Amino acid sequence: MGINVGYFAKESVINFRRNWVMSLGAVITIYLSLLLVGLSIATGIIIDDVVQSVEDKVTIQIFLKDDAATEDVQALQAQLLADELVDTVDYVSKEEALERFKEDMASSPEIIDTLNDNPLPASLDVSLIDPRTVQEMVDRIKLNELFPKVADRPDNPEDSLKYGQQIVDKLFSFTRMVRYVEIAFVAMLALVSLIFINNTIRLAIYARRKEIGIMRLVGASNGFIRTPFLMEGVLQSMLGAVLAILTVLGVQAALIPRLREALPFLPLGLSTGTLVQISAVLIGASLVIGLAGSGFALRRYLKV
Amino acid sequence: MISMRGVEKFYGTDKPALADVTVEIEQGEFVFLVGHSGSGKSTFIKLLLREILPSKGQIVVAGQDMLKLKNWKVPYLRRNIGCVFQDFKLLPNKTSYENVAFALEVIGKSKHVIRTQVPEVLRLVGLEDKINSYPDELSGGEQQRVSIARAFVNRPPLLLADEPTGNLDPATSLGIMSLLNRINKTGTTVLVATHDREMVDSMRKRVIALENGLVIRDQNRGVYGYGD
Protein backbone atom coordinates (compact mmCIF):
# COMPACT_ATOMS: atom_id res chain seq x y z
CA MET A 1 0.00 0.00 0.00
CA GLY A 2 3.07 2.20 -0.17
CA ILE A 3 1.89 3.92 -3.34
CA ASN A 4 -1.56 4.57 -1.95
CA VAL A 5 -0.57 6.80 0.96
CA GLY A 6 1.30 9.07 -1.42
CA TYR A 7 -1.59 8.99 -3.88
CA PHE A 8 -4.17 9.90 -1.22
CA ALA A 9 -2.04 12.72 0.20
CA LYS A 10 -1.42 14.11 -3.28
CA GLU A 11 -5.10 13.96 -4.22
CA SER A 12 -6.31 15.68 -1.07
CA VAL A 13 -3.77 18.48 -1.43
CA ILE A 14 -4.74 18.95 -5.09
CA ASN A 15 -8.41 19.15 -4.08
CA PHE A 16 -7.58 21.62 -1.38
CA ARG A 17 -5.83 23.88 -3.88
CA ARG A 18 -8.54 23.51 -6.48
CA ASN A 19 -11.21 24.79 -4.09
CA TRP A 20 -9.05 26.93 -1.93
CA VAL A 21 -11.64 29.62 -1.21
CA MET A 22 -14.16 27.13 0.11
CA SER A 23 -11.41 25.21 1.86
CA LEU A 24 -10.19 28.40 3.49
CA GLY A 25 -13.74 29.09 4.64
CA ALA A 26 -13.91 25.64 6.19
CA VAL A 27 -10.52 26.05 7.85
CA ILE A 28 -11.47 29.45 9.28
CA THR A 29 -14.79 28.32 10.74
CA ILE A 30 -13.17 25.26 12.27
CA TYR A 31 -10.37 27.45 13.54
CA LEU A 32 -12.83 29.85 15.17
CA SER A 33 -14.94 27.17 16.75
CA LEU A 34 -11.96 25.23 18.05
CA LEU A 35 -10.34 28.45 19.24
CA LEU A 36 -13.47 29.19 21.23
CA VAL A 37 -13.45 25.67 22.61
CA GLY A 38 -9.77 25.98 23.52
CA LEU A 39 -10.12 29.39 25.12
CA SER A 40 -13.20 28.35 27.06
CA ILE A 41 -11.46 25.26 28.38
CA ALA A 42 -8.45 27.37 29.34
CA THR A 43 -10.47 30.11 31.04
CA GLY A 44 -12.63 27.43 32.63
CA ILE A 45 -9.57 25.83 34.18
CA ILE A 46 -8.18 29.18 35.34
CA ILE A 47 -11.54 30.21 36.84
CA ASP A 48 -11.85 26.82 38.52
CA ASP A 49 -8.41 27.33 40.07
CA VAL A 50 -9.37 30.81 41.25
CA VAL A 51 -12.70 29.63 42.65
CA GLN A 52 -10.91 26.78 44.33
CA SER A 53 -8.42 29.10 45.96
CA VAL A 54 -11.17 31.48 47.07
CA GLU A 55 -13.14 28.56 48.42
CA ASP A 56 -10.10 27.40 50.32
CA LYS A 57 -9.98 30.83 51.87
CA VAL A 58 -13.65 30.80 52.79
CA THR A 59 -13.34 30.17 56.45
CA ILE A 60 -15.60 31.51 59.14
CA GLN A 61 -13.58 33.56 61.56
CA ILE A 62 -15.01 33.92 65.06
CA PHE A 63 -13.26 36.78 66.77
CA LEU A 64 -12.77 36.28 70.47
CA LYS A 65 -12.67 38.90 73.18
CA ASP A 66 -9.35 39.22 74.92
CA ASP A 67 -10.67 38.07 78.26
CA ALA A 68 -12.71 35.09 77.03
CA ALA A 69 -12.48 32.08 79.33
CA THR A 70 -10.13 29.46 77.91
CA GLU A 71 -12.49 26.61 78.83
CA ASP A 72 -15.40 28.35 77.00
CA VAL A 73 -13.24 28.77 73.90
CA GLN A 74 -12.11 25.16 74.02
CA ALA A 75 -15.67 23.94 74.57
CA LEU A 76 -16.89 25.96 71.56
CA GLN A 77 -14.01 24.62 69.47
CA ALA A 78 -14.93 21.03 70.44
CA GLN A 79 -18.63 21.57 69.68
CA LEU A 80 -17.87 23.08 66.28
CA LEU A 81 -15.51 20.25 65.43
CA ALA A 82 -18.31 17.79 66.17
CA ASP A 83 -20.54 19.47 63.54
CA GLU A 84 -20.85 17.45 60.33
CA LEU A 85 -20.36 20.54 58.12
CA VAL A 86 -17.02 21.40 59.68
CA ASP A 87 -13.65 20.27 58.43
CA THR A 88 -11.21 21.90 60.87
CA VAL A 89 -11.27 24.50 63.64
CA ASP A 90 -8.01 26.32 64.33
CA TYR A 91 -7.34 28.56 67.28
CA VAL A 92 -5.37 31.64 66.26
CA SER A 93 -3.90 33.57 69.15
CA LYS A 94 -3.46 37.34 69.23
CA GLU A 95 0.24 36.93 68.55
CA GLU A 96 -0.33 34.66 65.58
CA ALA A 97 -2.90 37.07 64.20
CA LEU A 98 -0.35 39.85 64.41
CA GLU A 99 2.28 37.71 62.68
CA ARG A 100 -0.12 36.98 59.82
CA PHE A 101 -1.05 40.63 59.54
CA LYS A 102 2.63 41.56 59.33
CA GLU A 103 3.18 38.96 56.60
CA ASP A 104 0.21 40.25 54.58
CA MET A 105 1.38 43.83 54.95
CA ALA A 106 5.05 43.12 54.32
CA SER A 107 4.96 45.45 51.33
CA SER A 108 3.91 48.43 53.45
CA PRO A 109 6.08 48.32 56.56
CA GLU A 110 5.06 51.86 57.59
CA ILE A 111 1.63 50.51 58.65
CA ILE A 112 3.28 47.97 60.94
CA ASP A 113 5.51 50.65 62.39
CA THR A 114 2.45 52.57 63.56
CA LEU A 115 1.38 49.64 65.68
CA ASN A 116 2.85 49.79 69.14
CA ASP A 117 0.23 47.64 70.79
CA ASN A 118 -1.45 44.49 69.40
CA PRO A 119 -4.98 45.54 68.44
CA LEU A 120 -5.89 42.23 66.83
CA PRO A 121 -8.24 39.79 68.52
CA ALA A 122 -7.64 36.06 68.80
CA SER A 123 -9.97 33.91 66.68
CA LEU A 124 -11.32 30.49 65.90
CA ASP A 125 -10.94 29.78 62.17
CA VAL A 126 -13.62 27.35 61.03
CA SER A 127 -13.09 25.75 57.62
CA LEU A 128 -15.91 23.80 56.03
CA ILE A 129 -16.06 20.56 54.09
CA ASP A 130 -18.22 22.23 51.41
CA PRO A 131 -17.74 26.01 51.13
CA ARG A 132 -21.30 26.41 49.86
CA THR A 133 -22.70 25.57 53.28
CA VAL A 134 -21.12 28.66 54.79
CA GLN A 135 -24.40 30.50 55.47
CA GLU A 136 -25.92 27.50 57.19
CA MET A 137 -22.88 27.11 59.42
CA VAL A 138 -22.92 30.81 60.31
CA ASP A 139 -26.54 30.43 61.46
CA ARG A 140 -25.60 27.45 63.63
CA ILE A 141 -22.76 29.37 65.24
CA LYS A 142 -25.08 32.27 66.05
CA LEU A 143 -27.42 29.86 67.84
CA ASN A 144 -24.61 28.35 69.86
CA GLU A 145 -24.96 29.51 73.51
CA LEU A 146 -21.22 29.71 74.05
CA PHE A 147 -20.78 32.08 71.12
CA PRO A 148 -22.06 35.29 72.82
CA LYS A 149 -19.92 34.50 75.85
CA VAL A 150 -16.64 34.48 73.96
CA ALA A 151 -17.45 36.86 71.11
CA ASP A 152 -15.24 39.89 70.66
CA ARG A 153 -18.28 42.18 70.72
CA PRO A 154 -20.92 40.63 72.95
CA ASP A 155 -23.29 43.54 72.39
CA ASN A 156 -23.45 42.77 68.67
CA PRO A 157 -22.21 39.18 68.13
CA GLU A 158 -22.87 39.46 64.39
CA ASP A 159 -19.81 41.70 64.05
CA SER A 160 -17.59 39.01 65.53
CA LEU A 161 -18.11 36.78 62.54
CA LYS A 162 -16.34 37.18 59.22
CA TYR A 163 -17.07 35.04 56.17
CA GLY A 164 -17.12 35.32 52.36
CA GLN A 165 -20.56 34.08 51.34
CA GLN A 166 -21.28 36.70 48.70
CA ILE A 167 -17.99 36.23 46.88
CA VAL A 168 -18.57 32.49 46.53
CA ASP A 169 -22.16 32.93 45.34
CA LYS A 170 -21.19 35.48 42.76
CA LEU A 171 -18.31 33.40 41.42
CA PHE A 172 -20.52 30.35 41.06
CA SER A 173 -23.32 32.09 39.21
CA PHE A 174 -20.87 33.95 36.98
CA THR A 175 -18.94 30.86 35.92
CA ARG A 176 -22.16 28.93 35.31
CA MET A 177 -23.50 31.62 33.01
CA VAL A 178 -20.22 31.94 31.10
CA ARG A 179 -20.20 28.20 30.56
CA TYR A 180 -23.74 28.11 29.11
CA VAL A 181 -22.97 30.93 26.69
CA GLU A 182 -19.78 29.19 25.61
CA ILE A 183 -21.52 25.89 25.02
CA ALA A 184 -24.13 27.58 22.86
CA PHE A 185 -21.47 29.36 20.78
CA VAL A 186 -19.36 26.26 20.36
CA ALA A 187 -22.34 24.18 19.29
CA MET A 188 -23.32 26.76 16.67
CA LEU A 189 -19.79 27.08 15.31
CA ALA A 190 -19.35 23.30 15.21
CA LEU A 191 -22.53 23.07 13.16
CA VAL A 192 -21.29 25.77 10.78
CA SER A 193 -17.95 23.97 10.37
CA LEU A 194 -19.74 20.72 9.58
CA ILE A 195 -21.78 22.50 6.91
CA PHE A 196 -18.66 24.12 5.46
CA ILE A 197 -16.74 20.85 5.25
CA ASN A 198 -19.80 19.16 3.80
CA ASN A 199 -19.89 21.85 1.10
CA THR A 200 -16.20 21.77 0.20
CA ILE A 201 -16.30 18.00 -0.10
CA ARG A 202 -19.39 18.22 -2.26
CA LEU A 203 -17.60 20.65 -4.57
CA ALA A 204 -14.55 18.39 -4.62
CA ILE A 205 -16.73 15.44 -5.56
CA TYR A 206 -18.45 17.49 -8.24
CA ALA A 207 -15.13 18.70 -9.67
CA ARG A 208 -13.94 15.12 -9.93
CA ARG A 209 -17.15 13.36 -10.95
CA LYS A 210 -15.63 12.19 -14.24
CA GLU A 211 -12.64 10.65 -12.54
CA ILE A 212 -14.86 9.07 -9.93
CA GLY A 213 -17.05 7.59 -12.66
CA ILE A 214 -14.00 6.07 -14.34
CA MET A 215 -12.64 4.82 -11.05
CA ARG A 216 -15.90 3.02 -10.36
CA LEU A 217 -15.90 1.65 -13.89
CA VAL A 218 -12.45 0.11 -13.72
CA GLY A 219 -13.09 -1.31 -10.26
CA ALA A 220 -11.38 0.99 -7.79
CA SER A 221 -12.55 -0.05 -4.35
CA ASN A 222 -14.97 2.17 -2.46
CA GLY A 223 -12.38 2.87 0.21
CA PHE A 224 -9.91 3.94 -2.46
CA ILE A 225 -12.42 6.39 -3.94
CA ARG A 226 -13.54 7.77 -0.57
CA THR A 227 -10.22 8.11 1.23
CA PRO A 228 -8.93 11.25 -0.55
CA PHE A 229 -12.16 13.08 0.33
CA LEU A 230 -12.08 11.96 3.94
CA MET A 231 -8.45 13.01 4.11
CA GLU A 232 -9.33 16.38 2.63
CA GLY A 233 -11.93 16.95 5.35
CA VAL A 234 -9.48 15.86 8.02
CA LEU A 235 -6.75 18.03 6.49
CA GLN A 236 -9.00 21.11 6.68
CA SER A 237 -10.10 20.51 10.23
CA MET A 238 -6.58 19.64 11.40
CA LEU A 239 -5.28 22.88 9.91
CA GLY A 240 -8.00 24.70 11.83
CA ALA A 241 -7.04 22.84 15.01
CA VAL A 242 -3.34 23.61 14.67
CA LEU A 243 -4.09 27.31 14.15
CA ALA A 244 -6.42 27.26 17.16
CA ILE A 245 -3.79 25.59 19.35
CA LEU A 246 -1.14 28.09 18.30
CA THR A 247 -3.52 30.96 19.07
CA VAL A 248 -4.41 29.55 22.49
CA LEU A 249 -0.70 29.20 23.29
CA GLY A 250 -0.02 32.73 22.03
CA VAL A 251 -2.91 34.23 24.00
CA GLN A 252 -1.88 32.53 27.22
CA ALA A 253 1.77 33.53 26.75
CA ALA A 254 0.75 37.15 26.16
CA LEU A 255 -2.03 37.50 28.73
CA ILE A 256 -1.12 35.37 31.73
CA PRO A 257 1.97 37.36 32.82
CA ARG A 258 -0.01 40.61 32.65
CA LEU A 259 -2.92 39.15 34.57
CA ARG A 260 -0.50 37.87 37.18
CA GLU A 261 0.97 41.30 37.51
CA ALA A 262 -2.46 42.90 37.85
CA LEU A 263 -3.90 40.28 40.21
CA PRO A 264 -0.91 38.97 42.17
CA PHE A 265 -3.07 37.39 44.89
CA LEU A 266 -4.80 34.96 42.45
CA PRO A 267 -3.24 31.70 41.25
CA LEU A 268 -3.38 32.45 37.52
CA GLY A 269 -1.68 30.15 35.05
CA LEU A 270 -1.86 27.00 32.98
CA SER A 271 0.52 24.11 33.45
CA THR A 272 2.22 22.49 30.46
CA GLY A 273 0.18 19.37 31.14
CA THR A 274 -3.05 21.35 30.89
CA LEU A 275 -1.93 22.92 27.62
CA VAL A 276 -1.09 19.50 26.20
CA GLN A 277 -4.52 18.27 27.28
CA ILE A 278 -6.24 21.22 25.61
CA SER A 279 -4.27 20.56 22.40
CA ALA A 280 -5.23 16.90 22.49
CA VAL A 281 -8.90 17.79 22.95
CA LEU A 282 -8.76 20.21 20.00
CA ILE A 283 -7.01 17.71 17.72
CA GLY A 284 -9.52 15.04 18.71
CA ALA A 285 -12.46 17.38 18.11
CA SER A 286 -11.05 18.37 14.72
CA LEU A 287 -10.72 14.72 13.72
CA VAL A 288 -14.34 14.13 14.65
CA ILE A 289 -15.55 17.24 12.80
CA GLY A 290 -13.43 16.46 9.72
CA LEU A 291 -14.48 12.84 9.46
CA ALA A 292 -18.12 13.57 10.25
CA GLY A 293 -18.36 16.46 7.78
CA SER A 294 -16.71 14.68 4.87
CA GLY A 295 -18.31 11.33 5.71
CA PHE A 296 -21.72 12.96 5.64
CA ALA A 297 -20.98 14.57 2.26
CA LEU A 298 -19.75 11.25 0.86
CA ARG A 299 -22.92 9.48 1.95
CA ARG A 300 -25.06 12.11 0.30
CA TYR A 301 -23.16 12.88 -2.88
CA LEU A 302 -20.99 9.87 -3.65
CA LYS A 303 -22.90 6.72 -4.36
CA VAL A 304 -20.35 3.98 -4.78
CA MET B 1 -19.35 -16.04 -19.03
CA ILE B 2 -22.80 -14.40 -18.91
CA SER B 3 -25.94 -16.18 -17.88
CA MET B 4 -29.32 -14.45 -17.58
CA ARG B 5 -32.40 -16.39 -16.61
CA GLY B 6 -35.87 -14.89 -16.62
CA VAL B 7 -34.50 -11.42 -15.96
CA GLU B 8 -36.96 -8.57 -15.53
CA LYS B 9 -36.26 -4.96 -14.71
CA PHE B 10 -38.88 -2.38 -13.83
CA TYR B 11 -37.90 1.24 -13.35
CA GLY B 12 -41.38 2.52 -12.67
CA THR B 13 -44.34 0.25 -12.18
CA ASP B 14 -46.06 0.04 -15.55
CA LYS B 15 -43.75 -1.04 -18.40
CA PRO B 16 -40.66 -3.24 -17.88
CA ALA B 17 -37.31 -2.12 -19.36
CA LEU B 18 -36.44 -5.78 -19.69
CA ALA B 19 -38.98 -8.60 -19.61
CA ASP B 20 -38.18 -12.26 -19.13
CA VAL B 21 -34.74 -12.16 -20.76
CA THR B 22 -32.91 -15.49 -20.88
CA VAL B 23 -29.48 -15.39 -22.52
CA GLU B 24 -26.36 -17.54 -22.29
CA ILE B 25 -23.05 -16.19 -23.57
CA GLU B 26 -20.06 -18.53 -23.53
CA GLN B 27 -16.46 -17.61 -22.91
CA GLY B 28 -14.69 -16.36 -26.02
CA GLU B 29 -17.88 -15.38 -27.89
CA PHE B 30 -18.34 -12.16 -29.87
CA VAL B 31 -21.94 -10.95 -29.52
CA PHE B 32 -23.83 -7.96 -30.89
CA LEU B 33 -26.72 -6.63 -28.85
CA VAL B 34 -28.98 -4.67 -31.20
CA GLY B 35 -32.18 -2.72 -30.86
CA HIS B 36 -33.68 0.76 -31.07
CA SER B 37 -33.22 3.40 -28.42
CA GLY B 38 -35.30 2.37 -25.44
CA SER B 39 -35.28 -1.29 -26.35
CA GLY B 40 -33.37 -2.18 -23.18
CA LYS B 41 -29.74 -2.33 -24.39
CA SER B 42 -28.43 0.06 -21.74
CA THR B 43 -30.37 -1.70 -19.00
CA PHE B 44 -28.81 -4.96 -20.19
CA ILE B 45 -25.28 -3.51 -19.89
CA LYS B 46 -25.99 -1.88 -16.52
CA LEU B 47 -27.23 -5.17 -15.13
CA LEU B 48 -24.01 -6.88 -16.19
CA LEU B 49 -21.94 -4.18 -14.46
CA ARG B 50 -24.24 -4.41 -11.42
CA GLU B 51 -24.94 -0.72 -11.57
CA ILE B 52 -28.52 -1.86 -11.05
CA LEU B 53 -30.10 -5.08 -9.78
CA PRO B 54 -32.81 -7.02 -11.64
CA SER B 55 -36.37 -6.87 -10.32
CA LYS B 56 -36.67 -10.57 -10.99
CA GLY B 57 -34.53 -13.43 -12.31
CA GLN B 58 -30.95 -14.56 -12.01
CA ILE B 59 -27.76 -13.09 -13.50
CA VAL B 60 -24.33 -14.70 -13.30
CA VAL B 61 -21.35 -12.76 -14.72
CA ALA B 62 -17.80 -14.14 -14.66
CA GLY B 63 -18.88 -16.74 -12.14
CA GLN B 64 -20.50 -14.18 -9.78
CA ASP B 65 -24.18 -14.26 -8.89
CA MET B 66 -25.25 -10.61 -9.11
CA LEU B 67 -27.99 -11.01 -6.52
CA LYS B 68 -25.70 -12.59 -3.95
CA LEU B 69 -22.72 -10.32 -4.61
CA LYS B 70 -22.02 -8.05 -1.65
CA ASN B 71 -21.82 -4.32 -2.37
CA TRP B 72 -18.21 -4.00 -1.34
CA LYS B 73 -17.24 -6.80 -3.74
CA VAL B 74 -18.69 -5.03 -6.79
CA PRO B 75 -15.38 -3.24 -7.57
CA TYR B 76 -13.65 -6.62 -7.80
CA LEU B 77 -16.29 -7.83 -10.27
CA ARG B 78 -15.67 -4.73 -12.38
CA ARG B 79 -11.96 -5.47 -12.56
CA ASN B 80 -12.97 -8.49 -14.62
CA ILE B 81 -15.09 -6.44 -17.01
CA GLY B 82 -13.58 -3.96 -19.45
CA CYS B 83 -15.90 -1.15 -20.51
CA VAL B 84 -16.02 1.03 -23.61
CA PHE B 85 -18.57 3.78 -24.21
CA GLN B 86 -19.80 5.98 -27.00
CA ASP B 87 -18.39 9.12 -25.30
CA PHE B 88 -14.96 7.52 -24.56
CA LYS B 89 -14.93 8.80 -20.95
CA LEU B 90 -11.29 9.93 -21.10
CA LEU B 91 -9.85 12.42 -18.63
CA PRO B 92 -9.00 15.56 -20.66
CA ASN B 93 -6.07 16.60 -18.45
CA LYS B 94 -4.28 13.28 -18.83
CA THR B 95 -2.30 11.94 -21.81
CA SER B 96 -3.13 8.63 -23.50
CA TYR B 97 -0.52 6.96 -21.34
CA GLU B 98 -1.83 8.56 -18.14
CA ASN B 99 -5.43 7.74 -18.97
CA VAL B 100 -4.60 4.06 -19.34
CA ALA B 101 -2.22 4.09 -16.37
CA PHE B 102 -4.94 5.66 -14.21
CA ALA B 103 -7.07 2.53 -14.55
CA LEU B 104 -4.23 0.42 -13.17
CA GLU B 105 -3.21 2.97 -10.54
CA VAL B 106 -6.61 3.08 -8.89
CA ILE B 107 -6.83 -0.68 -8.51
CA GLY B 108 -3.48 -0.65 -6.77
CA LYS B 109 -1.15 -2.06 -9.45
CA SER B 110 2.54 -1.46 -8.88
CA LYS B 111 4.51 1.12 -10.85
CA HIS B 112 6.48 -1.66 -12.47
CA VAL B 113 3.33 -3.34 -13.82
CA ILE B 114 2.04 0.02 -15.07
CA ARG B 115 5.30 0.86 -16.83
CA THR B 116 5.38 -2.41 -18.74
CA GLN B 117 1.68 -2.97 -19.50
CA VAL B 118 0.56 0.50 -20.57
CA PRO B 119 2.94 0.92 -23.55
CA GLU B 120 2.22 -2.64 -24.60
CA VAL B 121 -1.55 -2.20 -24.72
CA LEU B 122 -1.20 1.16 -26.49
CA ARG B 123 0.90 -0.60 -29.12
CA LEU B 124 -1.84 -3.25 -29.41
CA VAL B 125 -4.45 -0.60 -30.26
CA GLY B 126 -2.06 1.08 -32.67
CA LEU B 127 -1.28 4.26 -30.74
CA GLU B 128 2.39 3.74 -29.97
CA ASP B 129 3.25 7.16 -31.43
CA LYS B 130 0.43 9.00 -29.59
CA ILE B 131 1.41 7.94 -26.09
CA ASN B 132 1.94 11.49 -24.87
CA SER B 133 -0.98 13.12 -26.69
CA TYR B 134 -3.91 14.60 -24.79
CA PRO B 135 -7.45 13.58 -25.78
CA ASP B 136 -8.14 16.89 -27.54
CA GLU B 137 -5.11 16.27 -29.77
CA LEU B 138 -6.55 12.92 -30.90
CA SER B 139 -9.26 12.09 -33.45
CA GLY B 140 -12.46 10.40 -32.33
CA GLY B 141 -11.24 7.02 -33.49
CA GLU B 142 -7.95 7.46 -31.68
CA GLN B 143 -9.73 8.49 -28.51
CA GLN B 144 -11.87 5.38 -28.70
CA ARG B 145 -8.70 3.32 -29.12
CA VAL B 146 -7.31 4.83 -25.93
CA SER B 147 -10.54 3.96 -24.18
CA ILE B 148 -10.33 0.38 -25.50
CA ALA B 149 -6.72 0.21 -24.34
CA ARG B 150 -7.84 1.30 -20.89
CA ALA B 151 -10.62 -1.30 -20.84
CA PHE B 152 -8.27 -4.06 -21.96
CA VAL B 153 -5.04 -3.20 -20.10
CA ASN B 154 -6.05 -5.33 -17.14
CA ARG B 155 -6.74 -8.29 -19.52
CA PRO B 156 -10.34 -8.78 -18.35
CA PRO B 157 -12.12 -11.95 -19.50
CA LEU B 158 -15.13 -9.84 -20.55
CA LEU B 159 -15.28 -6.62 -22.57
CA LEU B 160 -18.52 -4.63 -22.80
CA ALA B 161 -18.89 -1.94 -25.45
CA ASP B 162 -21.92 0.36 -25.38
CA GLU B 163 -22.29 2.01 -28.80
CA PRO B 164 -18.50 2.16 -29.30
CA THR B 165 -18.85 3.55 -32.82
CA GLY B 166 -21.81 5.81 -32.18
CA ASN B 167 -19.73 8.98 -32.62
CA LEU B 168 -17.47 7.74 -35.40
CA ASP B 169 -17.60 7.72 -39.20
CA PRO B 170 -17.97 4.37 -41.01
CA ALA B 171 -14.29 3.95 -41.96
CA THR B 172 -13.11 4.65 -38.41
CA SER B 173 -15.85 2.40 -37.04
CA LEU B 174 -14.52 -0.43 -39.13
CA GLY B 175 -11.09 0.00 -37.56
CA ILE B 176 -12.56 -0.05 -34.06
CA MET B 177 -14.59 -3.16 -34.84
CA SER B 178 -11.59 -5.02 -36.20
CA LEU B 179 -9.69 -4.03 -33.05
CA LEU B 180 -12.49 -5.47 -30.91
CA ASN B 181 -12.42 -8.56 -33.10
CA ARG B 182 -8.68 -8.87 -32.50
CA ILE B 183 -9.21 -8.58 -28.76
CA ASN B 184 -11.86 -11.28 -29.03
CA LYS B 185 -9.33 -13.52 -30.76
CA THR B 186 -7.15 -13.41 -27.61
CA GLY B 187 -9.96 -15.27 -25.82
CA THR B 188 -11.79 -12.29 -24.34
CA THR B 189 -15.57 -12.41 -24.49
CA VAL B 190 -16.83 -9.29 -26.27
CA LEU B 191 -20.37 -7.90 -26.07
CA VAL B 192 -21.13 -4.90 -28.29
CA ALA B 193 -24.39 -2.98 -27.95
CA THR B 194 -24.97 -1.05 -31.16
CA HIS B 195 -27.44 0.14 -33.77
CA ASP B 196 -24.78 0.33 -36.47
CA ARG B 197 -26.51 -1.78 -39.12
CA GLU B 198 -23.66 -2.03 -41.64
CA MET B 199 -21.22 -3.07 -39.00
CA VAL B 200 -23.39 -5.86 -37.67
CA ASP B 201 -24.22 -7.09 -41.14
CA SER B 202 -20.60 -7.12 -42.27
CA MET B 203 -19.21 -8.89 -39.19
CA ARG B 204 -21.50 -11.91 -39.24
CA LYS B 205 -21.37 -12.59 -35.53
CA ARG B 206 -23.99 -13.76 -33.05
CA VAL B 207 -26.79 -11.16 -32.79
CA ILE B 208 -29.20 -10.73 -29.90
CA ALA B 209 -32.03 -8.37 -30.84
CA LEU B 210 -34.07 -6.55 -28.19
CA GLU B 211 -37.40 -4.82 -28.67
CA ASN B 212 -39.47 -3.30 -25.89
CA GLY B 213 -37.43 -5.22 -23.35
CA LEU B 214 -37.96 -8.60 -25.00
CA VAL B 215 -35.38 -10.75 -26.81
CA ILE B 216 -37.02 -11.05 -30.23
CA ARG B 217 -34.16 -12.83 -31.97
CA ASP B 218 -30.92 -14.61 -31.00
CA GLN B 219 -29.04 -16.07 -33.94
CA ASN B 220 -25.48 -17.06 -34.73
CA ARG B 221 -23.85 -15.36 -37.70
CA GLY B 222 -26.83 -13.00 -37.78
CA VAL B 223 -27.62 -9.62 -39.32
CA TYR B 224 -29.09 -6.42 -37.89
CA GLY B 225 -32.42 -7.44 -39.38
CA TYR B 226 -34.78 -4.53 -38.71
CA GLY B 227 -36.81 -3.36 -41.62
CA ASP B 228 -36.36 0.37 -40.98
First to last CA, chain A: 21
Name every chain A residue with its beta carbon within 8 A of the beta carbon of B77: 219
The residue among A35, A10, A33 whose CA lies nearest residue A245 is A35
In this structure, CATH architecture of domain A59-163 = 2-Layer Sandwich (3.30)
User: How far, in Å, CA of A243 to CA of A228, rounded?
Assistant: 22
State whether A219 and B72 contact (CB < 8 Å).
Answer: no
Of B107, B110, B111, the CB nearest to A218: B107
Min distance A208 CA to chain B CA atoms (Å)? 10
pLDDT tens for each residue of B33-78: 998 888 889 899 999 999 999 999 999 998 889 999 998 889 999 9
Mean local confidence (pLDDT), A80-99? 84
Question: Is a pLDDT exceeding 90 seen at residue B137?
Answer: yes
Quick one: closest CA in A to B75, which residue?
A219
State whether A214 and B103 contact (CB < 8 Å).
Answer: yes
pLDDT value, residue A184: 86
User: How far, in Å, CA of A291 to CA of A296, rounded?
Assistant: 8
State whether B77 and A219 contact (CB < 8 Å).
Answer: yes
Min distance B211 CA to chain A CA atoms (Å)? 27
The DSSP code for A132 is G
Percentage of chain A exceeding pLDDT 90 = 8
pLDDT tens for each residue of B173-228: 999 999 999 999 999 999 999 988 888 888 889 999 999 889 999 988 878 876 54
The verdict on B53 touching A (C-beta cutoff 8 Å) is: no
Min distance A216 CA to chain B CA atoms (Å)? 7
State whether B107 and A220 contact (CB < 8 Å).
Answer: yes
User: How far, in Å, CA of A273 to CA of A67, rounded?
Assistant: 52
The residue among B92, B94, B101, B189 whose CA lies nearest residue B153 is B101
pLDDT value, residue A2: 47
User: How far, in Å, CA of A158 to CA of A203, rounded?
Assistant: 72
Of the listed ranges A6-20, A269-283, B88-102, B149-163, the least confidently predicted one is A6-20
Mean local confidence (pLDDT), A21-36? 84
Which of B61, B71, B83, B106 to mutate against chain A (most A CBs within 10 Å)? Answer: B106
The pairs formed by B11-15 with CB atoms below 8 angstroms and a separation of 24 or more are B15/B212, B15/B213
**E strand spans, chain A:** 59-64, 86-92, 122-128, 161-162
HEC readout, chain B: CEEEEEEEEECCCCCEEEEEEEEEECCCCEEEEECCCCCCHHHHHHHHCCCCCCCEEEEEECCEECCCCCHHHHHHHHCCEEEEECCCCCCCCCCHHHHHHHHHHCCCCCHHHHHHHHHHHHHHCCCCCCCCCCHHHCCHHHHHHHHHHHHHCCCCCEEEEECCCCCCCHHHHHHHHHHHHHHHHCCCEEEEEECCHHHHHHHCCEEEEEECCEEEEEECCCCCCCCC
The verdict on A2 touching B (C-beta cutoff 8 Å) is: no
The verdict on A213 touching B (C-beta cutoff 8 Å) is: yes
Give the CA count within 13 Å in the CB-facing half-sphere of A283. Answer: 8
Pairing mode, strands B2-10 and B16-25: antiparallel
Name the strand (E) or helix (H) holding A182.
Answer: helix A165-207
The verdict on B103 touching A (C-beta cutoff 8 Å) is: yes
Output the pTM of the full model. Answer: 0.68
Give the CA count within 13 Å in the CB-facing half-sphere of A212. Answer: 19
Min distance B169 CA to chain A CA atoms (Å)? 25
Question: Is a pLDDT exceeding 50 seen at residue A275?
Answer: yes
Percentage of chain A exceeding pLDDT 70 = 93
Name every chain A residue with its beta carbon within 8 A of the beta carbon of B72: 221-222
Of the listed ranges A133-137, A208-212, B81-85, the least confidently predicted one is A133-137
The residue extents of the domains of chain A are 2-54+168-301, 59-163
State whether B75 and A220 contact (CB < 8 Å).
Answer: yes
Mean local confidence (pLDDT), A257-285? 85
Name every chain B residue with its beta carbon within 8 A of the beta carbon of A218: 78-79, 83, 103, 106-107, 150, 154
